[in-house]
Amino acid sequence: MSIAIDHSGKVALVTGSGAGIGREIARWMARAGAAVVVNDIRAGNATATVDLVTAEGGVATALVADLRDDTSIDRLVAGAVEWGGRLDVAINNVGMMAGRSPTRFIDMDGAYWRDLLDQNLVLTALCGRAEARVMMEQGSGVIINVSSGETTRPSPLMSSYGAAKAAINHLTWSMAVELGPHGIRVNAIAPGTTLTEQVEKAFPADHYEAIVAATPLRRETSPSELGRLSVYLASDLARCTTGQLILADAGAFLSRTRPPNLAPNPDPGK
Ligand SMILES: NC(=O)c1ccc[n+]([C@@H]2O[C@H](COP(=O)([O-])OP(=O)(O)OC[C@H]3O[C@@H](n4cnc5c(N)ncnc54)[C@H](O)[C@@H]3O)[C@@H](O)[C@H]2O)c1
């Protein structure tokens, strides 16, 4: 006997899937049979993800949108439904540092805080709202918010990012409570340090090595592991799971060893 996960006939939307973790989530959802809407702010990257999916025999379309614009979120979700006829799975993956560098708590101004909260909490909430409205009409759906392992182990210079992602954990609970009676499950996934192109560029090698050495599994998370986890969480195998934060961090949250501090941002305005 074997058990397979089959998302055939479902439509999945993955925000920010033109690169990194989102791209791998899109690829894995397509490998499991879902028709995937690839959203990104960068048109070339979105198309490149669609090409990767179709090269493997999957089905995907690119919908380019900057989700910092509230109306573009509603247009994106409407476009996804127009393309696929429904919306079964939505993975709210856009987040990160909003173009800011790690900065000491005492140096961050209001603009910095607002950028981080906008890019992570507000954008995720508004995507969830637009997706939930469609799913409530269907009476079914799965939403996965991308949080961070940072919410379990605060690091120096990352307080606004950590707080914004921790707010996503609470948002996930609240969404699960309000949307559960409508047949919608809402969970969050928390990547540990994941070597995407951007992260690779940002981390000095010794910082990365210290992070890896501090995890029980002595490794980083790969983007494809978030893809596999999303395929599972979106499936019937996880049908009784809602309102949970699922860590994919090689056990980093168990570690008592801190990675060395990043050098403070010399220009706190950035
Ligand atoms: N990489 C890590 O180590 C790590 C760890 C924990 C959590 N995360 C979270 O995982 C998610 C993905 O991170 P990643 O490392 O893959 O990032 P990434 O920068 O590699 O990819 C993000 C994608 O989102 C797109 N994007 C950015 N702003 C957008 C906007 N306003 N509208 C539409 N698209 C936009 C970018 O063009 C890019 O293709 C983020 O929420 C991040 O906070 C990442």
The pLDDT of residue 260 is 55
Q: What is the DSSP string of the chain?
A: -------TT-EEEETTTTSHHHHHHHHHHHHTT-EEEEEESSHHHHHHHHHHHHHTT-EEEEEE--TTSHHHHHHHHHHHHHHHSS--EEEE---TTTTPPP--GGG--HHHHHHHHIIIIIHHHHHHHHHHHHHHHHT-EEEEEE--GGGTS--TT-HHHHHHHHHHHHHHHHHHHHHGGGTEEEEEEEE-SB--HHHHHHS-HHHHHHHHHTSTTSS-B-HHHHHHHHHHHTSGGGTT--S-EEEESTTGGG--PPPPPPPPPS-TT-
In a domain, 146, yes or no: yes
Q: Is 195 in the pocket of ligand 1 (CB under 6 A)?
A: no
pLDDT-derived band at 204 (thresholds 50, 70, 90) equals: confident
| Ligand 1 atom nearest to 194, measured from its CA | 3
In a domain, 4, yes or no: no
In a domain, 78, yes or no: yes
Does the pLDDT value for residue 257 go beyond 80? no
In a domain, 266, yes or no: no
Q: Is 108 in the pocket of ligand 1 (CB under 6 A)?
A: no
Q: Is 96 in the pocket of ligand 1 (CB under 6 A)?
A: yes
At 241, the amino acid letter reads: T
pLDDT-derived band at 199 (thresholds 50, 70, 90) equals: confident
Number of independent structural domains in the chain: 1
2-60 pLDDT, tens digit each: 999 999 999 999 999 999 999 999 999 999 999 999 999 999 999 999 999 999 999 99
Of 57, 1, 50, whose CA–CA distance to 26 is shortest? 50
Q: Compute the distance from residue 93 Cα to the ligand 1 centre, in Å.
A: 6
Which are the catalytic amino acids? Answer: 147, 161, 165
Share above pLDDT 70 across residues of the chain, in percent, rounded to a whole number: 96
pLDDT-derived band at 164 (thresholds 50, 70, 90) equals: very high
Q: Is 93 in the pocket of ligand 1 (CB under 6 A)?
A: yes
The pLDDT of residue 205 is 83
In a domain, 133, yes or no: yes
Q: Compute the distance from residue 16 Cα to the ligand 1 centre, in Å.
A: 6
Domain of 118, CATH number, reads 3.40.50.720
Atom 43 of ligand 1, nearest CA residue = 96
In a domain, 230, yes or no: yes
The mean pLDDT of 190-206, rounded to a whole number, is 88
The pLDDT of residue 249 is 96
Q: Compute the distance from residue 18 Cα to the ligand 1 centre, in Å.
A: 9
In a domain, 269, yes or no: no
Q: Is 247 in the pocket of ligand 1 (CB under 6 A)?
A: no
Does the pLDDT value for residue 263 go beyond 70? no
Full residue range of the structural domain in which residue 242 is found: 11-254
Q: Compute the distance from residue 2 Cα to the ligand 1 centre, in Å.
A: 34
The pLDDT of residue 152 is 94
Q: Is 22 in the pocket of ligand 1 (CB under 6 A)?
A: yes
Q: Compute the distance from residue 77 Cα to the ligand 1 centre, in Å.
A: 19
Q: Compute the distance from residue 1 Cα to the ligand 1 centre, in Å.
A: 38
Give the mutation target among 13, 21, 200, 211 for probing the ligand 1 site: most ligand atoms within 8 A of CB: 21
Give the mutation target among 63, 75, 94 for probing the ligand 1 site: most ligand atoms within 8 A of CB: 94
In a domain, 101, yes or no: yes
